[in-house]
Amino acid sequence: MRVKSKLTAILCIGAAVAGALLGTAETIELNPVADTGLFQPFPNNNFGAQVDLAVGTSGPNGGVGDFRGLFQFDIANEIPAGATIESVSFRFRVTNAAAGSGSTVEVRRQLTEWTEGTKTGLKGQPATTGETTWNNRQKDVSAWGTNGGQEGTDYAGNPSGFVAIDTASSYTIPSSAEMVADVQAWLDNPDNNFGWLMRSRSEGTPFTARRIATRETSIAANRPVLIVEFSTLPSIPPTITSIEVQNAQATLAWENGNPPYQVQFKPTLADAWSNVGDPTTETSATVPAPGDQGYYQIVSE
């Protein structure tokens, strides 16, 4: 809305526009900002900087043990606040497969905080303070509900998505309502974004373990990727709701738009807009009235 004003009178000029706001759709691909493995055969070791992690159960040579993975993505800094998540899929690469059959792996929403760590090696290395292991959510800081993570306490009781894996290849967990809900929650409440825990549905069955490339792999195409489709609505431009001009000052109030705001003025329609007063994050301002009459507008991001 533009407002033509005199010191003795105010004239509002504007027109209401009806119609639907058309949103914009976008797809973004995100690599993890953290990932690590939980290895039961090496329960006090960390794998945070290793180029792969294992999911499933190892063979009897050296003892049978379960392997799980943790993945976290930076949703809030990559997707605009207020966006609506439409679709989510998770692509990853199996780089090495055991002799036995594969299994179905699933991701479950992680409910508790963990720390990636900096250790490497197929067997990892002893964790230092704060790093995640099979036995400790954060070594010397906090414990899992049970070693390896406790269902319902450390990670959700129901899977958000799943896919069958076997030979070395690329696999994708397809979008589901639960995965969409997880990412939407991480966007709306970033402090609760602890990512997903990946585990096999066949834990305890030997030779189901499969090695999965992590974000640390030197082969960029093998890194895990979260593919998110989202939509956003355009911002509603500011609308002036009131203006009062007296004593060579104009006091304006408005609604909508996004801060910071800038009041602008021009004497006639043919003139260029010029800033009046300083930018503000408020939805009202008192600024100098540059002339006896003219037009005001509010500009926002």
Q: pLDDT, tens digit, for every residue of 256-283?
A: 888 899 999 999 999 999 999 999 999 9
- At position 90, the amino acid (one-letter code) is F
Cβ-Cβ contacts under 8 Å for 17 (sequence gap 6 or more): none
Convert the pLDDT of each residue in 199-248 to its tens digit: 999 999 999 999 999 999 999 999 999 999 999 877 788 899 999 988 88
Query: Of 187, 208, 232, which residue sits at a domain end?
Result: 232
Note the Cα 53 to chain centre separation in Å.
23
What residue type is 9 in one-letter code? A
Beta-bridged to residue 265, according to DSSP, are 274, 296
pLDDT-based confidence at 100, cuts 50/70/90? confident
Question: Do 215 and 261 reside in the same domain of the chain?
Answer: no
Tokens 């593919």, residue located: 227
Write down which residue in 232, 254, 274 finishes a domain.
232
71 vs 63: CA distance, rounded Å: 26
- In the chain, % of residues over pLDDT 90: 78
* Residue 294 and residue 153 share a domain: no
- Rounded to an integer, the average pLDDT of 54-82 is 90
User: 53 near 35, Cβ under 8 Å?
Assistant: yes
Q: Are residues 252 and 224 both part of a single domain? A: no
Q: What is the pTM of this model?
A: 0.75
Query: Residue 292's domain spans which residues?
Result: 2-21+235-300
**Spatial contact of 210 and 165, defined as CB atoms under 8 Å apart:** yes
pLDDT at residue number 247: 87
pLDDT in tens, 105-144: 999 999 999 999 999 999 999 999 999 999 999 999 999 9
Range 108-136 burial, b when 16+ CB lie within 10 A, else e: bbbbbbbbbbebeeeebbebeebbbbbbb
Angstrom distance (rounded) from CA 144 to CA 130: 13
Average pLDDT score over the chain: 90
Contact (Cβ atoms closer than 8 angstroms) between residue 236 and residue 130:
no
CATH of the domain at 290: 2.60.40
pLDDT number for residue 258 = 82
Picking from 272, 2, 259, 214, the residue whose alpha carbon sits closest to that of residue 94 is 214
Could you tell me if 136 and 37 lie in one domain?
yes
Does 110 share its domain with 209? yes
Q: Over 90: is that where the pLDDT of 19 sits?
A: no
Same domain, 218 and 239: no
Residues 225 and 101 in one domain: yes
Same domain as 11, residue 76: no
Q: Alpha helices of 90-249 — where are they, by DSSP H?
A: 177-188
Task: Based on the fold, state whether residues 162 and 217 are members of the same structural domain.
Answer: yes
Q: Residues 131, 264: one domain?
A: no
pLDDT value at residue 6: 30
What three-state secondary structure class fits 225? strand
Same domain, 142 and 253: no
Q: Which two tokens stand for residue 224?
A: 């895990």
One-letter amino acid of 164: A
Please list the residues that pair with 250 across neighbouring strands. 245, 287
pLDDT at residue 63, as a whole number? 64
What pLDDT shows up at residue 15? 26
The C-alpha atoms of residue 178 and residue 166 are separated, in whole angstroms, by: 24
Number of independent structural domains in the chain: 2
The residue from 176, 209, 232 where one domain ends is 232
64 and 193 inside one domain? yes
